[in-house]
Amino acid sequence: MLKYFISILLFVAICNVRAQREPIDLQPKDTLVKKQPYGLRAGVDLSRPILSYFNDDYTGLEIVADYRLTHKLYLAGELGNEKKTSREELQNVDIANAIPLYNYTTSGSYLKLGVDYNTYENWYGMNNSIFIGGRYAISSFSQTLNNYNIFDSNRYWIADQFANGAAQNIEFSSLTASWLEFLFGMKAELFANIYLGASVRIGFLVSNKESDTFPNLWIPGYNKVTDGSNFGVGYNYSLTYFLPLYRKAKKPKTEAQ
């Protein structure tokens, strides 16, 4: 019995010596793998339904979506339809009785596709973003000239007014336009998987197919066309829902040698 007891003590002593010889890791590594959610985020632009409700001359709807490709990069796009009636008036001294020049209605659809790059570094478990991005956009639409007045250089018979033009609707169809769009925006998580976003957009008109008799003064998705400039400005306020499809571990940063 004493022999077995001595053997056990020797075995414990040898193990203790070997354990003391092994180096102690003073910087233990975190073995917990942190995974980020990847999936589809889709919703609507809030500004267009609100503007449609308060403005009788406007009707619009835009669907927004993005899909996470990498830790920072998103495939993004917008699909929308807009209808807007615009009026141009000749401003003079008597502002209350401004002379109407023409009245027209633009109606059509547009598609924007591109990418967003998130510049904000989230804490673990968060998916907010402050992003920059770009889009290539196309629009197909029609314009209807509702009525207009004619400027007559001979003011003998009508000294204080323009001559009446056509009162019937004149439609110009099969109109198209395309533009490049640069945008800056942000998206913040309000509740679980529900995001509120906003963005400002600067568009550069690339192509503009218009009628020979009436120019494209307003383009769906692009907004107002400015004389002598190919630049336009837009915005949106989005409410989206994020559908997580899978999770992927973030690649650790390599330490500088």
| Cα(167)–Cα(122) distance, integer angstroms | 59
| Cα(44)–Cα(63) distance, integer angstroms | 5
Task: Give the count of beta carbons closer than 10 Å to the beta carbon of residue 50.
Answer: 12
Task: Give the count of beta carbons closer than 10 Å to the beta carbon of residue 109.
Answer: 15
For residue range 49-105, list pLDDT tens digits in order.
Answer: 999 999 999 999 999 999 999 999 999 999 999 999 998 877 665 556 667 778 899
For residue range 16-31, list pLDDT tens digits in order.
Answer: 655 455 555 556 555 5
| Distance separating the N- and C-terminal Cα atoms of the chain | 58
Q: What is the CA radius of gyration of the chain?
A: 32
For residue range 179-203, list pLDDT tens digits in order.
Answer: 999 999 999 999 999 999 999 999 9
Residue 134: which residues within 8 A CB-CB, separation 6 or more? 114, 115, 180, 181, 182, 183
Instruction: Cite the beta strand spans of the chain per DSSP E.
Output: 35-45, 58-68, 73-90, 99-118, 129-150, 163-164, 170-191, 194-209, 218-219, 223-224, 231-249
- Residue 61's Cβ-side half-sphere holds a number of Cα atoms within 13 Å equal to 2
230, amino acid identity:
N
The predicted model scores a pTM of 0.79
Q: What is the fold, at CATH topology level, of the domain defined by 37-244?
A: Porin (2.40.160)
Query: Per the structure block, which two tokens stand in for 52?
Result: 């449609």
Which one, of 110, 67, 107, lies nearest residue 85 by Cα?
Answer: 107
* Predicted local confidence at residue 89, as pLDDT: 75
122 DSSP assignment: P
**Residue 187 or residue 8, greater confidence:** 187
* Predicted local confidence at residue 25, as pLDDT: 56
* Range in 42-46, 94-98, 184-188, 225-229 with the lowest mean pLDDT: 94-98
* Predicted local confidence at residue 257, as pLDDT: 44
- Please state the rounded mean pLDDT for residues 101-116: 94
Task: Give the count of beta carbons closer than 10 Å to the beta carbon of residue 89.
Answer: 13
* Predicted local confidence at residue 147, as pLDDT: 80
The partner residues of 134 in beta bridges, in order of sequence, read 115, 182
Place 146 in a pLDDT band, splitting at 50, 70 and 90. Answer: confident
* Predicted local confidence at residue 256, as pLDDT: 46
| Cα(240)–Cα(45) distance, integer angstroms | 9
